[in-house]
């Protein structure tokens, strides 16, 4: 069969359920499409309920949530913010929005997230140089919980507040507790490729009521309490619409199911491809962690196969299957050429050897078999 005979198999496409339309319908019927409304309140309540966070602010994107979260932590011009190097650019762009500088920290090999040893080294060195880091952004990449206990302990020791970038990790848990609820601020994304989607959207969670109020204020143009338009602070247009929040309400009801499905997909690939020489399933789930397996990732072992991740990606492409390289580390990005970084070889090596396989929760058995056959053809 030619590749055109198959529909394109995407990496992680949106997967809608049956109730999103009801919430949208109701919003249109009631003329509640803007600006706020019952879906927005309900969506925020659903997120609080799931994460255990005291307060939630639904926003237009995860990036917006990181931006507001860093501002809540007091980040401003000239500050330095510690940040995982191995992540999507949107983790760090908001540091630049605020006129601050990122300081990148390498990964460790067990979870692929921020390395506690490199973190300590970075903090001590920055302080020696007279730059006490203002905040720390901790990412849970591909849904895998970072080494939270160690990292939170180091952050507490140096009194540095933590923002958790859980954009990829909604539904993941660490020692039973949902990710996003460990830091002073937690951030989720509801972009189209994430485990749940509102087509585009994000959320900020915190236990601080004053901070939540402040984030809402900034997200709606920072309008002072006056009958006319008066502004004492800089604001943004970042609030999620009541329509999209309706999609979010329908999606939140599906979260446990979607996590279960993504974990099953990961287990399915592992079981059938584990013994293919040169193909390594990583990272593994450490005891006490429960990842949502947002994307199934693999590494190619150059000692066992001559096939490179790029060759595998191109081969899957000929079968009309989308796969993606792992995130290119931020300390290698031209945008951040002059930024300090601590370590880097661990995530550089992962980037060189890794690939993300199609992991969408709507994948059928036939879809999975297509990927399986295509991988086996080459390896």
Binding region for ligand PLP (CB under 6 A): 61-63, 87-88, 90-91, 139, 165, 167-168, 189, 191, 202
Provide the minimum distance between the beta carbon of 165 and ligand PLP in the complex, in angstroms, as a whole number. Answer: 5
Provide the minimum distance between the beta carbon of 260 and ligand PLP in the complex, in angstroms, as a whole number. Answer: 21
Provide the minimum distance between the beta carbon of 342 and ligand PLP in the complex, in angstroms, as a whole number. Answer: 19
- For residues 259, 144, 69, 257, the Cα torsion angle rounded to the nearest 10 degrees is 0
Alpha carbons 191 and 181: distance in angstroms, whole number: 20
Rg of the chain over all Cα atoms, to the nearest angstrom: 21
Q: Decide: 242 and 11 in contact? Cβ < 8 Å.
A: no
Provide the minimum distance between the beta carbon of 232 and ligand PLP in the complex, in angstroms, as a whole number. Answer: 28
Whose Cβ is closer to ligand PLP: residue 32's or residue 218's? 218
Whose Cβ is closer to ligand PLP: residue 202's or residue 273's? 202
Shortest-Cβ-distance residue relative to ligand PLP: 62
Instruction: Report the DSSP pairing between strands 177-178 and 185-189.
Output: unpaired
Whose Cβ is closer to ligand PLP: residue 238's or residue 269's? 238
Whose Cβ is closer to ligand PLP: residue 90's or residue 244's? 90
Whose Cβ is closer to ligand PLP: residue 9's or residue 179's? 179
* CA 44 and chain centroid, separation: 18
For the record, the structure tokens of 16 come out as: 């809608």
Provide the minimum distance between the beta carbon of 329 and ligand PLP in the complex, in angstroms, as a whole number. Answer: 13
Provide the minimum distance between the beta carbon of 137 and ligand PLP in the complex, in angstroms, as a whole number. Answer: 9
Whose Cβ is closer to ligand PLP: residue 51's or residue 191's? 191
Task: Give the CA count within 13 Å in the CB-facing half-sphere of 47.
Answer: 31
For the record, the structure tokens of 271 come out as: 């079981």
Whose Cβ is closer to ligand PLP: residue 141's or residue 298's? 141
Residue 86 vs residues 71, 201, 253, 328, 334: alpha-carbon distances, Å: 23, 23, 31, 7, 15
Provide the minimum distance between the beta carbon of 367 and ligand PLP in the complex, in angstroms, as a whole number. Answer: 23
For the record, the structure tokens of 227 come out as: 């009958």
Whose Cβ is closer to ligand PLP: residue 189's or residue 242's? 189
Alpha carbons 273 and 280: distance in angstroms, whole number: 9
Provide the minimum distance between the beta carbon of 140 and ligand PLP in the complex, in angstroms, as a whole number. Answer: 8
Provide the minimum distance between the beta carbon of 224 and ligand PLP in the complex, in angstroms, as a whole number. Answer: 28
Q: How many CB atoms lie under 10 A from the CB of residue 329?
A: 24
Kind and range of the H or E run holding 271: helix 255-273
| Ramachandran quadrant class, 252 (left: phi over 0; alpha: psi -120 to 50; beta: rest) | alpha
Q: How would you class 11 by CB atoms within 10 Å of its CB: exposed for 0-12, middle for 13-18, buried for 19 or more?
A: middle
For the record, the structure tokens of 257 come out as: 């199911």
Whose Cβ is closer to ligand PLP: residue 91's or residue 107's? 91
Q: What are phi and psi of 286, to 5 degrees?
A: -70, 155
């Amino acid at each position: 069969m030619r590749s055109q005979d198959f529909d394109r198999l995407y990496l992680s496409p949106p997967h809608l359920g049956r109730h999103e339309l009801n919430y949208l319908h109701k919003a249109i019927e009631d003329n509640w499409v803007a600006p706020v409304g019952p879906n927005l309140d309900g969506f925020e309540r659903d997120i609080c309920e799931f994460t255990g966070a005291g307060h939630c602010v639904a926003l237009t994107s995860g990036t917006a949530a990181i931006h507001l979260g860093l501002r809540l932590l007091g980040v401003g011009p000239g500050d330095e913010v510690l940040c995982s190097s191995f992540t999507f650019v949107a983790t760090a762009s908001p540091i630049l929005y605020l006129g601050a500088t990122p300081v990148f920290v390498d990964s460790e090999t067990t979870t692929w997230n921020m390395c506690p040893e490199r973190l300590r080294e970075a903090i001590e060195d920055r302080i020696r140089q007279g730059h006490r880091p203002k905040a720390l952004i901790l990412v849970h990449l591909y849904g895998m919980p970072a080494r939270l206990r160690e990292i939170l302990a180091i952050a507490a020791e140096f009194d540095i507040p933590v923002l958790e970038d859980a954009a990829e990790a909604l539904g993941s848990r660490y020692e039973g507790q949902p990710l996003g609820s460990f830091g002073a601020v937690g951030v989720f994304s509801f972009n189209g490729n994430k485990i749940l989607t509102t087509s585009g959207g994000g959320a900020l969670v915190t236990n601080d009521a004053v901070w939540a109020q402040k984030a809402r204020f900034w997200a709606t143009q920072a309008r002072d309490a006056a009958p006319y338009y008066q502004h004492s602070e800089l604001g943004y247009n970042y609030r999620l619409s009541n329509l999209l929040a309706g999609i979010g309400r329908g999606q939140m009801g599906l979260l446990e199911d979607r996590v279960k499905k993504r974990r099953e997909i990961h287990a399915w690939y592992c079981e059938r491809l584990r013994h293919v020489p040169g193909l390594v399933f990583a990272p593994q789930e450490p005891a006490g962690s429960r990842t949502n397996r947002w994307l199934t990732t693999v590494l190619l072992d150059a000692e066992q196969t001559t096939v490179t991740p790029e060759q595998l990606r191109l081969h899957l492409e000929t079968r009309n299957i989308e796969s993606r390289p792992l995130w290119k580390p931020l300390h290698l990005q031209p945008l951040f050429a002059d930024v300090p970084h601590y370590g880097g070889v661990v995530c550089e090596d992962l980037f060189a050897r890794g690939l993300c396989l199609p992991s969408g929760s709507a994948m059928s058995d036939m879809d999975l078999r297509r990927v399986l056959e295509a991988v086996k053809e080459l390896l």
